[in-house]
Amino acid sequence: MNLKNKKILLTGGVGFLGRFVFKKLLEGGVKEDDIFIPRIKNYDLRKKEDCLEITKGKDIVIHLAAKVGGINFNKENPATTFYDNASMALNIIDASYKNNVKKFVGIGSVCEYPKFTPVPFQEAHLWDGYPEETNAPYGLAKKMMLVQSQAYRQQYGFNAIHLLLINMYGPGDNFNLDTSHVIAALIKKVADAKKEGKDYIEVWGTGKATREFLYVEDAAEAIILATEKYDKPDPVNIGSGTEISIKDLVETICRLMDFKGEIRWDISKPDGQPRRRLDVSRAEKEFGFRAQTNFEIGLQKTIEWYRSLSERSY
């Protein structure tokens, strides 16, 4: 599918990932006037009538909007996390079908996978168990978007695809400790410790859990490639295919930020899912995506962006 001259609805288009997807669309020749980004003050995607309004006349819907945060946010807001994500998907997919949208691109999450999934996670294992408890409501809401996409394809011939994104990081990430994910939270903790003259930082868990991370610009590239080239019902993992322990991650960030203080592990707090690493072969086979950004280079870019943001704030 050539995206030029297509009318595109980009939900979540002013968010962390959305800004990069918007940029990639423009770089690919899509006219800015052909991209509509609904703002939350004007449109509530939990309302069917708003979704019906914004999908009218659109050729493609890329659904990035989500209620999402880290472990602490998910633990404290399980009902909100489930309801908001599930209701947004239910409404936007149904409205897209009813308004004859040609293609729906749903952005799912690694949180959809069972807590104990053989590593690397393969798409075939998605239904082999219950997700990790702290993010199960979010993961299951996203999983229902996959079910709905496949059901609408089966009954109506509706072209809906589903991408399973791993944890992202990069410039423009959310650095609010109440809602941020691990990399942004660690960068902020180290920066705050240095600013306040502390000789330690506190980190949740034991450090033994492992995670895979994808630079946000790579994630945006994958979404554009899938939008152009992938039209099958099967979900597709989007990640870097690499794995790092939280302990090694913390030590790497401390080294890159020249912080030599103590790392204090709060083992009363959860680790979350024990391991995460995706099998990313399907994405490369189906639409030629392979992550390009070296992890330490991506971290350094993220750190530099946060430092420049902090300097502008004072």
Q: What is the CATH number of the domain that holds 192?
A: 3.90.25.10
Examine the domain organization and report whether 222 and 257 are in the same domain.
Answer: no
Residue 177 lies in a domain: no
Spatial contact of 244 and 295, defined as CB atoms under 8 Å apart: yes
Please check whether residues 285 and 136 belong to one and the same domain.
Answer: yes
Residues 47-64, buried b or exposed e (16+ Cβ, 10 A)? ebebbbebbeebbbbbbb
**What's the whole-number mean pLDDT along residues 36-52?**
97
Cβ–Cβ < 8 Å for 195, 262? no
pLDDT of residue 312: 58
Together in a domain, 77 and 145:
yes
262 in any annotated domain: yes
* Same domain for 77 and 25: yes
Q: Are residues 128 and 143 in the same domain?
A: yes
Does 122 reside within a domain? yes
Torsions phi, psi for 103 (to 5 deg)? -155, 135
Question: Has residue 3 been placed in a domain?
Answer: no
Cβ proximity of 35 and 3 under 8 Å: no
Averaged confidence pLDDT in the chain: 95
In a domain, 150, yes or no: yes
Residue count (the chain): 314
Quick: pLDDT tens for 190-241.
999 999 999 999 999 999 999 999 999 999 999 999 999 999 999 999 999 9
| DSSP line for 148-209 | HHHHHHHHH---EEEEEE-EEE-TT----TTT--HHHHHHHHHHHHHHHT-SEEEEES-S--
Residue 67 placed within a domain: yes
Paired tokens of 142: 């996203």
CB distance 245 to 207 below 8 Å = yes
Bigger pLDDT: 70 or 10? 10
| Confidence at residue 314, expressed as pLDDT on a 0 to 100 scale | 37
**pLDDT level of residue 270 (50, 70, 90 thresholds):** confident
The DSSP code for 38 is -
Active site residue ranges = 138
pTM listed for this prediction: 0.94
Quick one: pLDDT band at residue 178, thresholds 50, 70, 90? confident
Shared domain check, 249 and 142: no
- For 117-173, write each residue's pLDDT tens digit: 999 999 999 999 999 998 999 999 999 999 999 999 999 999 999 999 999 999 999
Both 251 and 151 in one domain: the answer is: no
Residues 197, 99 share a domain: no
The verdict on 149 and 202 lying in the same domain is no
88 and 189 share one domain: no
- Residue 298 lies inside a defined structural domain of this protein: no
CATH number of the domain that residue 28 is part of: 3.40.50.720
Domain that holds residue 188: 182-208+244-273+303-312
**Mean pLDDT, residues 36-40 taken together:** 96
Q: How many domains does the chain have?
A: 2
Whether 284 is in a domain gets the answer yes
Assess whether 285 and 255 both reside in one domain: no
* Angle (nearest 5°) at CA 244 between 241 and 250: 145
Residues 113 and 249 in one domain: no
Alpha carbon distance 192, 307 (integer Å): 11
